[in-house]
């Protein structure tokens, strides 16, 4: 059980079913709120349709959603809190966004555009007319800003108190809730009848509507123009589809959609960039850009043309995958050819365009109607991260294509730190024999990693497959100076960490570094525990994941004595080059059956404090406090300069 840093009490999440029930039950009331908050300048017809669209788009996207701050406001009588309050908050926010003007430098909101659904063709819809008081109120509201209208509606229609209105407006993104409420109160004071009575009138009911036809003459002219445009588009499409030189269908590629000279040049197999076999010896860079073209099919122009065509326009029978943050679009220029050859029962082509590795595979039996296309981002690669690529995957195994500077490759089982590495055979093109892939294993009984040595023999880099084209490099040591996993201590620590790697599988990960940031003597003479921080860095730079581990002493084999995750984060820079600090804690039970809160921080911490369910303070970066089973504690520490830092989360 892990401790967490000090945090505010968060509102209870709202289930989709709960929000949907509130929306269906109170649909007319919610649409009325949206209609009143929307700017009257939209016109009554678009205002009605937009109000319905805003309410229908107010359900959370996931299975559960975190309510806005306004969800803490009590709902009106009869409403289904907190589902109703959650949906109402989203309705108010979208209605306010719909009234914002479109600006050139600001990213537009969805509510600022005409609604996609619902749509009414050939009719204009508007609520029933009210009396003189309703007309005067509508004119008065049209002169107000969106936040003031929202405050007036929440006050009059929802009968919220001033404090509740201010909270709801703040949750909807209003910059000055207090000023908006004050202006709304002044408007209400000038009305002859109460705000609630006026706002409940048919004048503001977008669910009881009247219908009238649109401009019939203009509609007929628009229909004629649309018919002429469709005919012109059909003629152009027919002309582009005529046979002739150019692209045309290729294998599993989709039909041609353009005749652009630059695009056609990028898809010409004769213009593929090919690097000389020994170029990497004299190049200033050592990465994928100096890989030579290898494989027995590098001269198969038909295969290369199919691969380029499918890359540019994959058809419906092409299975496509891309790592997070990798654009799957066509090449901007003629790419570099890295490999073309037969791998197991497939023909495989591998390209590099400076940003991405692209792998094309088709069946080796001659069929060209189906194919697979995989993309992986590899910009900023260096010699350490460009030592191998995955060229084949199947039956639980993976084949690698090694870099030209790799002089030897062996396979190590990470769960056997004292085990002997076994040699891995490579053919003349650098393709390895099959290696069991831990990324496809259902259990963690072994973890096969590839150890690569360069031509000098001085570096032994450890990489492993996590389900992507580029294998992940594993390192050990402080974030400022990570090193290769080459010592006994590093291999032992990774033996108890390897089975946690599926947590970052298929996430676009470039490197995973693990390091021991603290050692702690356990209470009651229970031995010494290690605290480790494991951080996965991605190729795209964002989306890094950090795990803090607690590894108590164990006499069992590493495969059955994996470390426990004490804390995790997908956003914090902790445990990285920018911020090497890390703090985490666990609830631990001694062999005698007593419970303790244990915590450890990296060397930058001078004191640790736990509060909440368990209270205690210690000098230094280690803490051990007696606790009870199930206790929850809040943990933070102080640095040398007095800065207060919370636990990893």
Asked if residue 71 has pLDDT above 60, the reply is no
CA distance 529 to 585: 12
The Cα 644–Cα 649 span in angstroms is: 15
| Collapsed DSSP state (helix, strand, coil) of residue 515 | strand
Model pLDDT for residues 600-609, shown as the tens digit of each residue? 999 999 999 9
Q: Where does 136-266 show beta strands of DSSP type E?
A: 209-213
Measured at the alpha carbon of residue 22, what is the angle toward residues 17 and 26, in degrees to the nearest 5?
150
Q: Please tell me which residue, 86 or 475, carries the higher pLDDT value.
A: 475
- What was the pLDDT predicted at 454? 87
Secondary structure percentages of the chain, helix, strand, coil, to 5: 30, 30, 45
Task: Please check the confidence at residue 383 and state whether its pLDDT lies above 80.
Answer: yes
Residue 8 scores a pLDDT above 70: no
Total tally of structural domains belonging to the chain: 1
Tokens 């290369």 identify what position? 304
Q: Can you list the pairs that 183-191 forms with residues at least 24 positions away whose Cβ atoms lie under 8 Å? A: 183/144, 183/145, 183/148, 183/151, 184/144, 184/148, 184/149, 184/151, 184/152, 184/155, 185/155, 187/140, 187/141, 187/144, 187/148, 187/152, 188/152, 188/155, 188/156, 190/140, 191/133, 191/137
What pLDDT is stored for residue 104 in this prediction? Answer: 61
Identify the bridge partners of residue 463 per DSSP, sorted by sequence position. Answer: 450, 473
Residue 69 phi, psi (nearest 5): -60, -30
Measured CA to CA in angstroms, residue 509 lies from 308, 394, 459, 536 at distances of: 26, 21, 21, 6
Quick: pLDDT tens for 341-378: 999 999 999 999 999 999 999 999 888 889 999 999 99
- Please tell me the predicted confidence (pLDDT) of residue 469: 96
- Give the structural domain span for 155: 14-211
d(CA 305, CA 308): 5
Examine residue 533 and state whether it is found in any structural domain, yes or no: no
Give pLDDT tens digits for 444-467.
889 999 999 987 666 789 999 999
Query: 544, 616, 595, 549: which is closest to 573 by C-alpha?
Result: 544
Q: Write the pLDDT tens digit of every residue in 204-259.
A: 888 887 777 765 666 666 566 667 666 667 655 554 444 444 444 467 776 665 55
Tell me whether residue 638 is in a domain.
no
Using the predicted structure, report yes or no on whether residue 113 has a pLDDT greater than 90.
no
Distance, C-alpha 596 to centroid of its chain:
36
Tokens read off for 369 = 């109607």
Position 1 confidence tier, pLDDT thresholds 50, 70, 90:
very low
pLDDT value at position 185? 84
Averaged pLDDT score across all residues of the chain = 85
Q: Which residues make beta-bridge pairs with 401?
A: 389, 431
Beta-bridge partners for 595: 589, 627
Q: 420 with 431: CB under 8 angstroms? A: no
| Rounded-to-integer distance, Cα 376 and Cα 358, Å | 7
Name which of 248, 96, 262, 257 is nearest 174 in CA terms. Answer: 96
Phi, psi of 246 (to 5 degrees): 130, -145
- What lies within 8 Å, CB to CB, of 507 at 6+ separation is 323, 324, 466, 536, 538, 543, 545
Tokens of 367: 């069929």
In a domain, 372, yes or no: no
- 572 neighbors 578 (Cβ within 8 angstroms): no
pLDDT at 103 over 70: no
- For residue 233, the number of C-alpha atoms closer than 13 Å in the C-beta half-sphere is 6
For residues 156 and 119, which has the higher predicted lDDT (pLDDT)? 156
Compute, in degrees rounded to 10, the torsion defined by CA atoms 455, 460, 463, 469. Answer: -10
CA angle in degrees (0–180, nearest 5) for 426-432-437: 155
pTM for this one?
0.62
């Amino acid at each position: 059980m892990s401790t967490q840093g000090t945090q505010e009490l968060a509102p209870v999440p709202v289930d989709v079913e709960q929000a949907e029930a509130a929306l269906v039950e109170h649909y007319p009331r919610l649409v009325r709120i949206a209609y009143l908050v929307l700017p009257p300048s939209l016109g009554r017809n678009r205002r009605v349709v937009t109000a319905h669209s805003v309410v229908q788009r107010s359900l959370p996207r996931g299975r559960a959603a975190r309510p806005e701050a306004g969800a803490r406001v009590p709902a009106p009588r009869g409403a289904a809190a907190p589902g109703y309050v959650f949906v109402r908050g989203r309705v108010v926010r979208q209605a306010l966004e719909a009234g914002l003007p479109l600006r050139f430098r600001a990213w537009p909101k969805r509510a600022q555009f005409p609604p996609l659904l619902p749509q009414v063709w050939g009719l204009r819809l508007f609520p029933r007319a009210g009396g003189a008081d309703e007309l005067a109120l509508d004119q008065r509201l049209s002169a107000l800003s969106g936040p003031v209208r929202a405050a007036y509606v929440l006050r009059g229609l929802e009968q919220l108190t001033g404090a509740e209105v201010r909270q709801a407006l703040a949750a909807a993104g209003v910059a000055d809730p207090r000023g908006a409420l004050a202006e709304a109160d002044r408007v209400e004071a000038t009305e002859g009848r109460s705000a609630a009575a006026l706002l409940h009138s048919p004048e503001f009911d977008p669910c009881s509507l009247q219908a009238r036809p649109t401009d019939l003459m203009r509609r007929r002219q628009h229909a004629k123009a649309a018919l002429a445009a469709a005919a012109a588009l059909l003629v152009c499409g027919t002309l582009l589809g005529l046979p002739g030189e150019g692209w045309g269908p290729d294998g599993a590629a989709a039909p041609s959609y353009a005749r652009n000279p630059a695009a056609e040049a990028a898809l010409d197999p004769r213009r593929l960039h090919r690097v000389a076999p020994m170029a990497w010896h004299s190049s200033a860079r050592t990465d994928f850009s100096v890989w030579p073209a290898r494989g027995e099919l590098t001269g198969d122009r038909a295969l290369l043309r199919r691969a380029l065509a499918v890359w540019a326009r994959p058809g419906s029978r092409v299975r496509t995958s891309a790592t997070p943050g990798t654009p799957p679009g066509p090449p901007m220029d003629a790419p570099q050819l890295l490999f073309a050859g037969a791998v197991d029962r497939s023909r495989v082509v591998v390209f590099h365009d400076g940003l991405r590795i692209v792998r094309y595979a088709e069946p080796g039996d001659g069929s060209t109607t189906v194919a697979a296309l995989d993309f992986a981002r590899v910009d900023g690669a260096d010699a350490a991260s460009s030592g191998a690529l995955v060229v084949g995957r199947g039956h639980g195994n993976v084949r690698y294509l090694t870099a030209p500077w790799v002089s030897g490759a062996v396979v190590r089982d990470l769960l056997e730190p004292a085990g002997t590495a076994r040699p891995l055979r490579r053919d003349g093109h650098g393709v390895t024999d099959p290696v069991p892939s831990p990324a496809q294993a259902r259990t963690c009984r072994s973890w096969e990693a590839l150890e690569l040595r360069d031509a000098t023999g001085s570096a032994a880099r450890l990489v492993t497959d996590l389900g992507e084209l580029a294998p992940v490099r594993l390192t050990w040591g402080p974030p400022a100076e990570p090193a290769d996993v080459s010592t006994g201590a590093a291999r032992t620590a990774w033996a108890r960490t390897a089975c946690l790697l599926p947590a970052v599988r298929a996430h676009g990960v470039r490197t995973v570094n693990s390091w021991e940031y603290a050692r702690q003597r356990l209470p009651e003479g229970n031995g010494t525990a290690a605290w480790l921080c494991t951080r996965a860095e991605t190729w795209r730079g964002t989306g890094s994941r950090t795990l803090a581990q607690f590894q108590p002493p164990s006499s069992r084999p590493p495969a059955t004595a994996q470390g426990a995750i004490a804390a995790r984060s997908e956003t914090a820079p902790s445990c990285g080059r920018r911020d090497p600090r890390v703090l985490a804690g666990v609830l631990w039970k001694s062999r005698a059956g007593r419970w303790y809160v244990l915590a450890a921080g990296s060397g930058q911490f001078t004191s640790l404090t736990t509060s909440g369910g368990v209270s205690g303070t210690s000098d230094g970066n280690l803490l051990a406090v007696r606790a009870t089973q199930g206790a929850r504690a809040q943990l933070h520490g102080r640095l040398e300069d007095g800065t207060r830092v919370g636990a990893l989360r």
